[in-house]
Structure formats: structure tokens, C-alpha cells
Amino acid sequence: MLDKELRSMIGDVKDGRMDRRAFIKRMVAVGLTAPLANQILALGGVAMAEGASTYKPTKRGGGGALKLLWWQGPTLLNPHFATGTKDQDGSRLFYEPLACWDPDGNMKLVLATEIPSIQNGLLAADGKSVTWKLKPGVKWHDGKPFTADDLVFTWQYAKDPATAAVTIGVYRDITVEKIDDLTVKITFPKSTPFWADAFVGAGAGQILPKHLFADFIGSKSREAPTNLAPVGTGPYKFVEFKPGDLIRGVINPDYHMANRPYFDSIEMKGGGDAVSAARAVIQTGEYDFGWNIQVEDDVLLRLEKGGKGKTVYAVGGDTEFIALNFTDPNVEVDGERSSMKTKHPLFSDPVVRKALSLLVDRESVKKAIYGRAGRTTANFLNGPEKFVSKNTSWEFNIEKAAKMLDDAGWKPGADGIREKDGKKLKLLYQTSINGPRQKTQAIVKQACQKAGIDVELKSVVASVFFSSDVANPDTYPKFYADLEMFQIPLSQPDPSQHMRRYLSNSVATKENKWQGTNFPRWVNKEYDEAITAADMEMDPVKRAAYYIKANDLMWQDTVFIPVMHRLKVEAAANNLRPVISGWANETDNLFDWYREE
Amino acid sequence: MSQYVLRRLLIAIPSLLGISAVLFFVLALAPGDPFSELATNPNVPPEVQAALRAKFGLDDPIYLRYLHWLNAMLHGDWGFSFVSRMDVDKLILQRLPTTLYVIGSAQILALLIAIPVGVYAATKPYSLFDQVANTLAFVGFSLPTFFTGILFILIFSVTLDWLPFVYTTDIKATGIHWVLEMIRQAIMPVAVLGLFQAASMTRFVRSAMLDVIRLDYVTTARAKGLGQATVIVKHVMRNAMIPVVTLIALQIPAVFGGAIVTEQIFRIPGIGSLLISSILSNDTPVVMAVTFVFACLVVLFNLIADVLYGWLDPRISLR
């Protein structure tokens, strides 16, 4: 709507020329809900804020050894070949991006000097290019200077299909050019409101040294000795690497940030399991930090009693959800089940979907399973804060669900299971094998039974469930079930990639070998429009409104039943001050870690 | 003799080929692929995953992949780890010293316990010592290593805080301190593995001794007026050890496998934990190489046992 008017009105409210209530009234008058109007106001004019640092030490080094425990140890140290976050974490000890994400999802500068914005002229107003200024005087660990050439090279390296980099998706469509030794310009093929993907964060942003990788681009990439012995610009210099077992580094005395790093050496040990990792950090204090402690809260609470460490939580946007299948998983059309040519026999009645969402007892799931590591939510999109809808709600109410089904004609049969027109409310509910998931399944099944819905549970080994094996019927994209539960990590503080998955033209089908990302096979024109518009929208306020609308559409249609907004759980020694962001890898803010004396 | 060894080696070739084929096809049929973790990462478009699969030849028909593997193996190329993007032989060699150290020490510990206890128990069957040794042996091999491992951790690391339970390969000390630290961290895993081995071996030594001790030539030796120690050590033990040596030789490959669980519990970066993590990440070339090494070890130690048998007991002739 009326962009200019909205902008000037926000300005009016800020300057005190318009009263807040009047603003909201006008918004409601043009069809926006009051909470949404409030939200728009809250983020009016907010571009990208710079993250604050909580780092206290006043000199470099002197902190002794930092011992990290990664129960899945990194297996390689080239971030562009990383098969999982563990490899990105390990590489990030040595390599650095231009900027990273702080715990609030704000940008923090690493190798750049300024956050690009339209105001400072570094970000094009149409969102088609962004210019980065590099920090002068930064040196690679071998003493060679860090320049714009390294960024241009990293781009060429990653986008070359023969290199087989996993970050190719980020780099292949952009153009990176060198303006001068300390300036690069990234050009996007179309307006890109989230321009901080290339060269930012640990996921795809880590920059490689041109002088060491130049001979190993393309098909020779796997022969590079530096794949296993990184030379970066980071706070620690590489010493030793044993895949899956150990990484060692020592302090970089020439590090480009003042008074950093705090620790004299670093060690990252791999192997084992999450519970014993928690034990080694919290109970015996053998290690300072334990990664990804997915352990039941009961166990953690017990370990923390009188222990030497504690758990640390980071809020991100990871949502554990139950997805509903909009196609029929039991009918085969042209050699494919869950085909777009079918409609789900039960879920085509929206009442059934609504009733199901009333039967997921999120409070019990939180209490019995996730504890401190979860938050209940009605939303599919749970972060960053400015994209989270306040218009939705959830409740757990078996009677209400039963009544809704009664009213819609789903009457209990002789066996207690509801049916209508000969179709019984029998559902297959699948997920990956994982303790908390099986417990959640049991809680949902119990409530459904009370409401007269028969639920059959199925659990699939994670390596199958999450694989892209075309021949296997049990993968999540095939979705040969009525319900399925898992989570898709939101790996950057922006919802664009995450929400683009559910566009109508991205449905997973036999034709695209089930590589389509829209696995619920939900088709909604309004949603497509909102997402497409958000992808082109440079105004942060309007863009947020589009994503909130998209989330609300999913909620109205009950495409997903969000079970839990999950937090990252880590274990840390009592005196360690780690900086963990829910929007980044655990080691992304490592330069700011220190120990309280 | 040399003819016999040569013939056995030639027979081993088709059986190793058969083993490798079975291993390869079973692994290829197993679900999942090394790049499956990328599927849930929204940063990685699905076609990238497909391109990676194509690049590493995962989409070729199974028999072609097997022939490629076999051809490379014949040229001494062990393959290339998808997950670490490095050569498999390097990965294995990196892990081998730790495994040899831990398993070797455990095996020595087992022998040091089993032989004296077994021999002494056999000389006084059904005495109090024998009863106690038997009972402990039964308890020992009834308790799986994952249980005793966790029990040890709870007692010695958590409660008493004497020993570390995370095994590190880079100890920051030199000289005698390094040796002491190396021993200290190996105590628990070696004890867990060694005691488990010792339990069954004690039973075996005892029964082998009992078989021999009743023979006539032992009575003759005693009748000659030889002392108890000489009879037992020189006459009985030497003959009783024949089956024991065979058993140990045959057990060595099995011990490599048995250490997998212990390595996982104590985070020992050995071959076993490499196998587990490779299986979990579907890194087929590594799994293939490690299992194939195990297969070769089994075949090799079978041969060694047979040769040893003939050498220890000339009555058995090898033809």
C-alpha cells in the first residue's frame, strides 16, 4: 500500500507530530490489524543495526587454552566443501567473513569497515548492488596482505561447478568486481533485499586466500593441501588437524581486532555423543565448551547441580513443525504417490486441519521434552523478531476439536473413529528417529485418540528421512504420509530463503526428482504474491509486513502446525563468556569469547 | 611348507574378491548418501547436491562403481573420502597408531591376567581360587564393554575425579610427563577392553591346561621326580598353549571390531570410531576400506594361525 504515505506517517510519529493511537487507527482503516500496525511502527526506519560487543579484556592473549568439545568433529577445513555445520564451525576458527551475526541477528563487522546501507551509499537504492569496504592492513597467517583480489577469487572458486563447492548456490548468480584493493562491488541479477549472504557469516561467507588456492580451482580443488591446513585471517593460527578427531590452533599475534583474541591456544575435540559431552563440560569440567547439547532438560538440570558448568541458550528461528500433506499419499498416479493430481481425502476439509492443530499440546511437549530449550508458538516463522507475526494464536482443546469435527459431519463410528462419507479419520504420522520426536509423536497421538482420530506413528532413520535418495519412499520430500514432523534450520537472520521454499512452483514431484522444496504441496496464490513481492521489496517495513502476511496465510490454512520454537543449547564452563548467536555458527563470534577471572 | 603358504594365499584371492563384492553391494544398497545433510540446509539448492552426487560418481550403476573401486584398489588407490575430501589411506594411517596402542595394551593386559590365572586355576581345579576366578570370569564376559565403560567413567571420572574420560591425541607435555599422561588416559579404555578379553581367555587357558594335565606323559614327568613348577611350565603349558596361540591369532581381527564401542565411549580417535562416524555420514569409500582391511586381517590371521599350528605341533602336517 501507499508506501510514501506510510513512511511519512512513521516519521510523523517519531517526531511526535502524530500520536501513536492515531497512526494505528489509520492503519486499521486501510485493512491492517492493530498488532501489525504496532509492529510496523516498532521497526519503522530501522535499517540494519550494528551488533554490540560485550568483550571486556583489555589485552591480547593471556587466557590460556580454550578447550572445545564438538561431539561431531569437523571432517574437513575448507568451508566451501562443508557437508554440515560442524565443518563450517571448524573452518571458522581460521577463516573469516566480512561480517557475522550477533545474538540478536544484527550484523557485526569482521573484515569490513562499514555496514552497507542506502544512507551511506554503499547499498544501491534498487538493491541490485552492494559495495564493501575492506579493513586495511589485514594479513593472512602467512604474512601476505588481504585484499579485494581474495574476495573476487573466492567468488570465482565457489561458483565454478567443477570445484563442487556446496556454497555455489550463494555465488553463482552474483558478480563480484574489484573497485580498488580495499573495495569490492557485488552485483545481483535482481533486487536483493537480503544482500548479506555472500561473504557474510560462517555458512557461505568465509573468504579463502587467493595466493594459496589459485592453482586449485575447478576440478583440481580436491588436491589443495590447504583443504586440510587452512591459512586464514582469523584470531587463531592453524597448527594441526585430524579429521573427525582434533583441531589445534594458537593465538594470532597480528590479529586485526584490538585486544583480541583472549585465549593463547585453542583445541576442538570431536567424537562421542551429546550426553557425555555435556558431562565433560558441566559435570567434570574437562572441557570449556560443548557444542549442540541436544539432551533432555531433566538430565541437564541434574548435571548442573553443583557442577562446573552450565547450559547456554541462543534464540534463533528454528521451528519444529508438523507438516500436513495436501495431496493423497495413498493413491498412485503415474508412478508417484502424493501426486499434485490428487487431493488429500481428509485434509481437503479445512475443519480437519484446524481440529488437528487444536490437538497438539505444545505446553506438555515443552514441559515433558524441550524444557528450557523450547518456546511454544503459533507461528511457522519465528525470527528474527521483526518478522514474527503477532496476529496468530494457538490453543490445546480436545473438546473444541471434537465439537468442530461433529459440526462438520465427522461422526464417531462403531470403533470410536470418526468418519464421513465412508472416509475414516486415520492418519499416518512420520518423523525421523530422535528421542524427543518420538515422545512428541506419542503426546499428539494420545490427544488425537481422545478426539476420535486414529493416528499411526512411523519413524524413519534420519539418514534416510533427510536424504535425497530418489529410490527411497521414506524421505521427507516424498512425503508418503499424512503428517510429518521435523525442522528446517533458519541459517541466516532473514526469512527469504526459508519462506521461498513453499512457493507453488516449487512443489516436490516425480518430475523434478522430488528436489522441489515445497513438500506439503500447498498451493496458494496469495502466498506466492507476498513472497515474490517481498523478494523485490527494499523497504524493510513493507518487506517485514509481507513475510508476516505469508506466515499468517500458512497459519490460516494450517499448512504447518508449529510444535516448538527451538533454541540452540550449548554447555559452557561457569567462568567462560561465550558469545552464541541463534543466527550463526557457534564459532562465528569466537573473537569475542573470554573467561571471567 | 612354502608351497602350502603359496596355495593358501592364492585361495585367499577369490575369497577376498567375494568379500569385497558383497561389502560393496550391501553398502550400495544401504539407504542414504554422503550429501544428505545438505538436504536440510536451505542455503544449498537441491541441484547442487545432485551435481555433487554426479561428480563423485554416485549416480553410476552399482556394478560400474564396483569395477572402478576394484581397479583403483589394484593400483593401490584406496579411494577418496566424500566427507573429508582426502585420501582414505591417509585417514586410516592417521588413526592406526592410536588403535594399535590401545588394542595392543589391552591384549597384553588380557594375556598377563589370563595365562597366570588360568594356569594356576587349572592346577588346583575346584579350589577356592578356581571358584573365585571362574565367577569373576563369568561376570567379566557377561558385562558388555559399553556398560563397564560407562561404569568406569562414573566411578573414576565423575565421582572420584582421578582419570580423564576424553582421550586426547595431543598431550601438552614432554618427556616422562607425556608418557605418564598417555598411560593415565589409556587406563580406563585398556582396562575395559583388557578385562573383557581376559575373562574369556582365562576360561580357555584353564580348560586347555586341564585337558593336558591329565595326560599320561605328565604323570610320567611327575614320576621322574620333576618339581611341580617344571612340570607345569615346561611340560604342560607348552602343549596347552597350542590352541591358545591359535585363539589369540584368530581373535586379533575381532578385537579391532570389538574396540569400536569402547573407542566411541572414550572418544579414542582410532579405526573403530572412524568406521562409526563414516557409517553415520554414509562415507562409503571409508567404510569400504575399513571393512575390507578387517576382512584382509581375518584372512591373514587365519593363515598365520594355521602355519603356527603346524610349527608348534609337528604332528600336524601341512600339505
pLDDT for the residue numbered A191:
87
Distance (Å) from the alpha carbon of A397 to chain B's nearest alpha carbon: 32
**Which residue does chain A place closest to B155, by CA atoms?**
A284
Contact A468 B35 (CB under 8 A): yes
Is the pLDDT at A34 greater than 60? The verdict is: no
Contact B277 A287 (CB under 8 A): no
**Overall average pLDDT of the B222-237 stretch:** 86
- List of chain A residues whose C-beta atoms are within 8 Å of the C-beta of residue B273: 244-245, 271
Contact A228 B86 (CB under 8 A): yes
Map grid coordinates 574420560 to a residue: B165
All three cell numbers of A375: 518456546
Map grid coordinates 601476505 to a residue: A144
Is the pLDDT at A46 greater than 70? The verdict is: no
Point out the residue among A83, A269, A497 whose CB comes nearest to the CB of B34. Answer: A83
- When pLDDT is cut at 50, 70 and 90, the band that residue A322 belongs to is very high
Over the stretch A328-374, which tens digit does the pLDDT of each residue have?
Answer: 999 999 888 999 999 999 999 999 999 999 999 999 999 988 999 99
**Which residue does chain B place closest to A198, by CA atoms?**
B43
Distance (Å) from the alpha carbon of B139 to chain A's nearest alpha carbon: 26
- List of chain B residues whose C-beta atoms are within 8 Å of the C-beta of residue A492: 43
pLDDT for the residue numbered B277:
83
All three cell numbers of A492: 541466516
Distance (Å) from the alpha carbon of B303 to chain A's nearest alpha carbon: 34
All three cell numbers of A410: 465427522
Q: Which helix (H) or strand (E) holds A560?
A: strand A560-573
What are the start-end ranges of the E strands in A401-453?
A: 411-412, 418-420, 423-424, 426-432
Contact A166 B52 (CB under 8 A): yes
d(CA B193, CA A351): 60
Is the pLDDT at B211 greater than 60? The verdict is: yes
- List of chain B residues whose C-beta atoms are within 8 Å of the C-beta of residue A513: 50
**Which residue does chain B place closest to A205, by CA atoms?**
B43
Exposure string over A64-74, b if 16+ CB within 10 A, otherwise e: eebbbbbbbbb
CA atoms within 13 A on the CB side of A163: 27
Contact B265 A161 (CB under 8 A): no
d(CA B132, CA B137): 8
Contact A246 B38 (CB under 8 A): no
pLDDT for the residue numbered A38:
53
DSSP string, A487-533: E----SS-SHHHHHTT-GGGB--TTTTT--SBTT----HHHHHHHHH
pLDDT for the residue numbered A77:
92
- List of chain A residues whose C-beta atoms are within 8 Å of the C-beta of residue B51: 161, 164, 168
Over the stretch A143-195, which tens digit does the pLDDT of each residue have?
Answer: 999 999 999 999 999 998 888 888 888 898 999 999 999 999 999 998 888 88
Over the stretch A91-140, which tens digit does the pLDDT of each residue have?
Answer: 999 999 999 998 888 889 999 999 998 888 898 888 899 999 999 999 99
Fill in the DSSP letter of residue A16.
T
A359 or B176, which is more confident: A359
Point out the residue among B52, B166, B277 whose CB comes nearest to the CB of A286. Answer: B166
Contact A491 B42 (CB under 8 A): yes
Point out the residue among B40, B50, B85 whose CB comes nearest to the CB of A488. Answer: B40
Contact B243, B312 (CB under 8 A): no
Q: Which of A271, A193, A277 is nearest to A538 (CA)?
A: A193
- When pLDDT is cut at 50, 70 and 90, the band that residue B175 belongs to is confident
d(CA B256, CA B271): 8
Fill in the DSSP letter of residue A36.
H
**Three-class SS state of A566:** strand
Q: Which of A572, A577, A483, A497 is nearest to A534 (CA)?
A: A497
Is the pLDDT at B30 greater than 80? The verdict is: no
Contact A463 B157 (CB under 8 A): no
Contact A279 B158 (CB under 8 A): yes
Query: ipTM score of the complex?
Result: 0.78
A18 or A283, which is more confident: A283
- Tell which phi-psi region holds residue A447, choosing left (phi > 0), alpha (psi between -120 and 50) or beta: alpha
B67 or B317, which is more confident: B67
Distance (Å) from the alpha carbon of B211 to chain A's nearest alpha carbon: 44
CA atoms within 13 A on the CB side of B90: 12
All three cell numbers of A190: 535482481
Is the pLDDT at A45 greater than 60? The verdict is: no
Contact A370, A364 (CB under 8 A): no
B136 or B310, which is more confident: B136
Exposure string over A252-280, b if 16+ CB within 10 A, otherwise e: beebbbeebbbbebbbbbbbbebbbbbbb
**Which residue does chain A place closest to B165, by CA atoms?**
A280
d(CA B95, CA A245): 9
Point out the residue among A167, A280, A472 whose CB comes nearest to the CB of B165. Answer: A280
Contact B85 A222 (CB under 8 A): yes
Residue B124: Cβ within 10 Å count: 10
pLDDT for the residue numbered A1:
45
Is the pLDDT at B40 greater than 70? The verdict is: no
Give the burial class of A29: count Cβ atoms within 10 A of its Cβ; 0-12 exposed, 13-18 middle, 19 or more buried: exposed
User: Going by C-beta distance under 8 Å and a sequence separation of 6 or more, which residues neighbour residue B63?
Assistant: none
Point out the residue among A244, A246, A467 whose CB comes nearest to the CB of B170. Answer: A246
Residue B22: Cβ within 10 Å count: 11
**Which residue does chain A place closest to B56, by CA atoms?**
A164
Contact A246 B36 (CB under 8 A): no
Distance (Å) from the alpha carbon of A417 to chain B's nearest alpha carbon: 35
Is the pLDDT at B242 greater than 60? The verdict is: yes
Contact A284 B161 (CB under 8 A): yes
**Overall average pLDDT of the A313-331 stretch:** 93
- pLDDT above 90: percentage of residues in chain B: 6
Contact A472 B31 (CB under 8 A): yes
Point out the residue among B35, B55, B95 whose CB comes nearest to the CB of A83. Answer: B35
**Which residue does chain B place closest to A223, by CA atoms?**
B86
Q: Which helix (H) or strand (E) holds A313?
A: strand A309-324
- When pLDDT is cut at 50, 70 and 90, the band that residue A411 belongs to is very high
- List of chain A residues whose C-beta atoms are within 8 Å of the C-beta of residue B53: 468
Beta-bridged to residue A50, according to DSSP, are A107
Contact A503, A524 (CB under 8 A): no
Q: Which of A345, A247, A138, A123 is nearest to A587 (CA)?
A: A247
Question: Which residue of B29, B43, B89 is the best one to mutate when testing the A interface, meaning the one whose CB has the most A CBs within 10 A?
Answer: B43
What are the start-end ranges of the E strands in A461-499?
A: 483-487
d(CA A403, CA A398): 9
Question: Which residue of B44, B185, B188 is the best one to mutate when testing the A interface, meaning the one whose CB has the most A CBs within 10 A?
Answer: B44
pLDDT for the residue numbered A247:
94
What are the start-end ranges of the E strands in chain B?
A: none
Distance (Å) from the alpha carbon of B70 to chain A's nearest alpha carbon: 21
pLDDT for the residue numbered A47:
45
- When pLDDT is cut at 50, 70 and 90, the band that residue A521 belongs to is very high
Distance (Å) from the alpha carbon of A474 to chain B's nearest alpha carbon: 10
Lowest mean pLDDT among A473-477, B31-35, B88-92: B31-35
Question: Which residue of A91, A199, A319, A468 is the best one to mutate when testing the B interface, meaning the one whose CB has the most B CBs within 10 A?
Answer: A468
Distance (Å) from the alpha carbon of B10 to chain A's nearest alpha carbon: 36
**Which residue does chain B place closest to A77, by CA atoms?**
B84
**Overall average pLDDT of the B28-46 stretch:** 69
Backbone angles phi, psi at A131, to 5 degrees: -115, 135
- List of chain A residues whose C-beta atoms are within 8 Å of the C-beta of residue B275: none
- List of chain A residues whose C-beta atoms are within 8 Å of the C-beta of residue B52: 164, 166
Distance (Å) from the alpha carbon of A551 to chain B's nearest alpha carbon: 18
Contact A83 B31 (CB under 8 A): no
Is the pLDDT at A8 greater than 80? The verdict is: no
Give the burial class of B225: count Cβ atoms within 10 A of its Cβ; 0-12 exposed, 13-18 middle, 19 or more buried: exposed
Q: Which of A336, A340, A288 is nearest to A309 (CA)?
A: A288
All three cell numbers of A133: 569496504
Contact B169 A246 (CB under 8 A): yes
Map grid coordinates 593441501 to a residue: A225
- List of chain B residues whose C-beta atoms are within 8 Å of the C-beta of residue A271: 264, 267, 269, 273, 277
Distance (Å) from the alpha carbon of B81 to chain A's nearest alpha carbon: 10
pLDDT for the residue numbered A269:
92
Map grid coordinates 545432485 to a residue: B50
A192 or B59, which is more confident: A192
pLDDT for the residue numbered A200:
92
Contact B85 A227 (CB under 8 A): yes
- List of chain A residues whose C-beta atoms are within 8 Å of the C-beta of residue B157: 284
**Three-class SS state of A290:** strand
d(CA B289, CA B275): 9
Is the pLDDT at B118 greater than 70? The verdict is: yes
Map grid coordinates 515422545 to a residue: A439
Is the pLDDT at A506 greater than 80? The verdict is: yes
| Interface size between A and B, measured as CB pairs under 8 A | 165
Hey, CA dihedral for A197, A198, A200, A203, is it positive or negative? Answer: positive
